[in-house]
Structures are given as structure tokens and as C-alpha cells.
């Protein structure tokens, strides 16, 4: 068996996460037991939710255990198998974590899933045709429930979730507006992803200024909003929501370092009779087959051309992750491990 390089959570962040919170180690891989599969990871997914797992406080999921491999989605190839349904050479996705190899108890429900890469790239199963894509699908279809002609807005518009949200909303006949950071990202949202407009939040110092920009981009108001950011972005959006608008709350990346994110005008939720619903996509596994079928078709037919930022090698994962939290990535953040 080869040696396996892993990234462990060495310590918990006191405020902002730093490189010192992580530790790179090399360990031997134990021989497989019956029912186990050895997977060589080709790609590791880096996602904002991981920052919340680094904390010890109350959250929707258990905290990442100190001294253990960081949690994370992976896509790779089966190298050895003692399970009757998995064979050497199978392409698979799972939650292998921040490491080059994983030993998976493949009989556990959902632990490992075979994927077809004849029309969809392997990396896409960690982005548009994976958890981020299904997240966008659930928030749009099950919470926002869009109608043709309505205006949909998404923050972090060029990320893995935002780009999928845009394609899904356009497919339903909606006007789609994004919020992103920087002119390059905004141009990409409009020119490549097909958004009707995209606002560069970095040009606006406060919620009032961003609200004015939203008024220009959304002249008929906002009917549905997919929230990834929070903070002053949410304050600005609330002021432009139409009566009976719907907000799907997926993330609050502006507050992931522990600072509270108070709303400036919470009364707008009542005044506009808004539906505001948070959700965790792993609690809705029943929708994944339907969502993945639609997302896979969008990618295979070129209607969803999600961009990827790729770091090289397992040792690069911590720095790439910290960059993701600061918006330095462009599109889905991955680590290529081979």
C-alpha cells in the first residue's frame, strides 16, 4: 500500500482561520477489510460550510474533530475493492476528506456513488452535478418556487452554487440577476452564464448604495433571493424584495469568522410578508436524483458552463480554502490531487 498524505484540523480558529489551524501528515494505508474500497482521489472539493465545521459551537452539524482528516467531498477512481458492487477503475464520488486516498466502507448508504464521465467531467460531480448544484436546485425549486417572468437574485453568483442557480432559473423563464465581487466575475456571469445582469458589490460601500444598484438591475423588484453571503448584502436585498417574496438561506459567509450579522431592518420581513427559510441540502436526499438528472443535462448540453479554480496537490488545500473564504476563487474551488 502507498503512503497517504492527509490534512488534519490541528486547532480551532479564534477568529479568522489561518494556515496554522491545519497540519499535513503522511500515514500508511491499512489493508482492506471485507466490504471496503480504496479510492484514489483525483479532486477534492473546498466549500464554505467547512469553515463552520472548524468551530466548536452549536451548529446544524457536528464540529470537525481535532486531529482528524478535514471533511470534504472527493471524486476519484477505485484502486482496490473487497466489495462486490465496486470494481477497480470505477469512477466514484464520496466524502473522502482532505487526503489523497480514502478507505470507504462501501456498504454504508450514500458512502460511495458511481458516476458516468462519458459526457460529464469527473470534477463536475463535485460542483454543478454534485452537492453545490443540488443546493441551488433545492433552494430554487422547493423554497423559492419560481414562476416564469419573475426576478431571481443570487449572491456569490459565479460560485458553484450561484452559477447552477442561474442556469436553473433561466431554464424556468426567470429574469436572473447576480451579485459578485469584481468586474471579471460580473462579466463572466452575464457573458458566459447567461445572467441578465450582475452587480459588483465591491463598488458599493454600504447597504444603501448596493440597494440603489439593485433597483437599477431589478426594476420590477425581487421575487426570489438565494442567500449565500448575509451582512450588508442581505440588508440591501431586503429593501428591494417584492411583497410575498421568497428567500432561501443557504449560507452566511460574511459571518463565518464569528462576527455577528445583525439585520438593519428586520421589520421588512413583516412589511413585505416574506418567506425566509434556511435549509441544509443533506437533509433532503429524496430530491437528489431529480435534481442531478436536470443538472447533468444542463452540463452535458453546454447550458451550464461552470468555471473551476483548481489548486494543485494536497498541500495547497489550506491556502486555497482560506482564499475561498475571502472570495479569491473564480467559480468552484477544487484541489487536483494527481
Residue spans of the domains in the chain: they are 3-127+307-336, 131-282
pLDDT of residue 15: 86
Phi, psi dihedral angles at 231 (to 5 degrees): 65, -140
**DSSP 8-state class, residue 100:** S
Nearest to 167 by CA among 308, 329, 279, 306: 306
Q: What are phi and psi of 36, to 5 degrees?
A: -100, 155
Domains 3-127+307-336 and 131-282 share a fold: no
Q: 3-127+307-336, superfamily in CATH?
A: Medium-chain alcohol dehydrogenases, catalytic domain (3.90.180.10)
b or e along 85-114 (b: 16 or more beta carbons within 10 Å of the residue's beta carbon)?
ebeeebbbbbbbbbbbbbbbebeeeeebee
From the list 334, 327, 332, the residue with the least C-alpha distance to 180 is 327
CA angle 333/162/73 to nearest 5° reads 40
CA distance 211 to 241: 10
Inter-residue contact 277 to 227 (CB < 8 Å): no
Question: Rounded to the nearest 5°, which phi and psi values hold at 260?
Answer: -70, 155
pLDDT at residue number 269: 97
Give me the average pLDDT of each 10-residue run along the chain (338 residues): 93 93 97 97 95 82 92 97 97 98 94 95 96 97 98 96 97 98 96 96 96 97 96 96 97 74 92 97 95 96 92 98 92 96
| Cα–Cα distances in angstroms (integers) from residue 203 to residues 115, 181, 182, 200, 212, in the given order | 41, 9, 8, 6, 12
β-pair partners for 101: 40
Distance between CA atoms of residues 224 and 174, nearest Å? 10
Q: Report residue 157 CA to chain centroid gap.
A: 11
Q: Is 155:226 a contact under the CB 8 Å cutoff?
A: yes
Provide the terminal-to-terminal Cα distance of the chain, rounded to the nearest Å: 17
Q: How is domain 131-282 classified at the CATH fold level?
A: Rossmann fold (3.40.50)
| pTM for this prediction | 0.92
Gyration radius of the chain over CA positions: 20
* Amino acid 274: pLDDT: 98
Euclidean distance between CA atoms 182 and 217, whole angstroms: 16
Amino acid at each position: 500500500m502507498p503512503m497517504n498524505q492527509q490534512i488534519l484540523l490541528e486547532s480551532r480558529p479564534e477568529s479568522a482561520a489561518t494556515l496554522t489551524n491545519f497540519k499535513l501528515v503522511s500515514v500508511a494505508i491499512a489493508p482492506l477489510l471485507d466490504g471496503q474500497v480504496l479510492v484514489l482521489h483525483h479532486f477534492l472539493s473546498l466549500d464554505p460550510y467547512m469553515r463552520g465545521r472548524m468551530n466548536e459551537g452549536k451548529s446544524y452539524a457536528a464540529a470537525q474533530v481535532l486531529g482528524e482528516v478535514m471533511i470534504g467531498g472527493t471524486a476519484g477512481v477505485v484502486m482496490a475493492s473487497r466489495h462486490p458492487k465496486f470494481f477497480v477503475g470505477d469512477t466514484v464520488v464520496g466524502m473522502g476528506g482532505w487526503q489523497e486516498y480514502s478507505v470507504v466502507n462501501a456498504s454504508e448508504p450514500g458512502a460511495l456513488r458511481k458516476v458516468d464521465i462519458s459526457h460529464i467531467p469527473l470534477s463536475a460531480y463535485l460542483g454543478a452535478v454534485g452537492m453545490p448544484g443540488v443546493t441551488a436546485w433545492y433552494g430554487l425549486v422547493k423554497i423559492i418556487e419560481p414562476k416564469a417572468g419573475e426576478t431571481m437574485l443570487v449572491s456569490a453568483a459565479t460560485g458553484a452554487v450561484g452559477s447552477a442557480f442561474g442556469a436553473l432559473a433561466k431554464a424556468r423563464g426567470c429574469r436572473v440577476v447576480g451579485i459578485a465581487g469584481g468586474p471579471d466575475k460580473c462579466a463572466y456571469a452575464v457573458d458566459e452564464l447567461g445572467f441578465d445582469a450582475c452587480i459588483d458589490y465591491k463598488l458599493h460601500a454600504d447597504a444603501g448604495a448596493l440597494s440603489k444598484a439593485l433597483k437599477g438591475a431589478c426594476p420590477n423588484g425581487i421575487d426570489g433571493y438565494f442567500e449565500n453571503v448575509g451582512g450588508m448584502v442581505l440588508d440591501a436585498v431586503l429593501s428591494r424584495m417584492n411583497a410575498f417574496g421568497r428567500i432561501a438561506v443557504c449560507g452566511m459567509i460574511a459571518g463565518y469568522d464569528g462576527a455577528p450579522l445583525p439585520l438593519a431592518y428586520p421589520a421588512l420581513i413583516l412589511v413585505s410578508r416574506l418567506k425566509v427559510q434556511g435549509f441544509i441540502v443533506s437533509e433532503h436526499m429524496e430530491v437528489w436524483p431529480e435534481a442531478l438528472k436536470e443538472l447533468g443535462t444542463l452540463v452535458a448540453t453546454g447550458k451550464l458552463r461552470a468555471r473551476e479554480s483548481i489548486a494543485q496537490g494536497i498541500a495547497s488545500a489550506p491556502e486555497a480554502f482560506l482564499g475561498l473564504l475571502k472570495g479569491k476563487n473564480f467559480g468552484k474551488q477544487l484541489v487536483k490531487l494527481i
